[in-house]
Structure 1
């Protein structure tokens, strides 16, 4: 598991959940994949075990993971949940982008042209889009 760099802007448990969501959305974590125990996650990330417990409880409520008694927790196999996570991540990214662009008052047609150009050049691996 990659080490997570925490910031001071939001609660640690939300940052850990987001980290899991990003990996679920990108397919790095696949349906049915085992995840570390709460205790192992806490040790690996250097967080309080109670925080890890809160992370797992919230992820269970959001159906991101499934947990059964005496069996390791696993990433959801429900494609609807994965699609919901992807849509949520996209909506957040677009909302942040739109707010930033609106703050500098760039016309939408110019924004769309620039976004398309940058997206295409980054897909091709070109530097300095």
Structure 2
């Protein structure tokens, strides 16, 4: 995993986990790697991974089971909220970029519609 200097590493790792949960690569109830395993895998200090896991637990997306590792929550509503929140961030980023290029809301909608048609979507 490559890290940028734009955001703290633990947030980048958290975002990667959240993307994997949203796209289904990590499913409800899946066990996360141990802190030590994850630290070795991404090449960071275990404290960074612990902070990531603690943050995800605070968000309710991950739960720690007594005497076991951390797991993705089984609560579909929390996962759906996460997907919505992440989608909103991406849409806002896209809209701001398009507006900085001078596009109006109507032009942005037109561009999106044309791309979806080209891609074969409805």
TM-score (norm 1): 0.88
The answer to whether the aligner puts 1:54 opposite 2:34 as a matched pair is no
- The 5 A counterparts of 1:1-129 are 4-122=1-119
Following TM superposition, by how much is the alpha carbon of 1:123 offset from its aligned partner in structure 2, in angstroms? 5.2
Paired positions, count = 121
Secondary structure in 1 aligned to 2:63? strand
Secondary structure in 2 aligned to 1:69? coil
Whole-angstrom distance in 1 between the partners of 2:50 and 2:68:
16
Structure 1 unmatched runs, 5+: 125-129
Secondary structure in 1 aligned to 2:2? coil
Structure 2 unmatched runs, 5+: none
TM-score (norm 2): 0.92
Whole-angstrom distance in 2 between the partners of 1:123 and 1:64:
33
Extract structure 1 runs of 4+ deviating beyond 4 A.
none
Judged with a 3 Å threshold, the aligned counterparts in structure 2 of structure 1 residues 123 and 61 are, in CA distance, closer, same or farther, namely farther
Considering only aligned residues, what root-mean-square deviation do their CA atoms show, in Å?
1.3
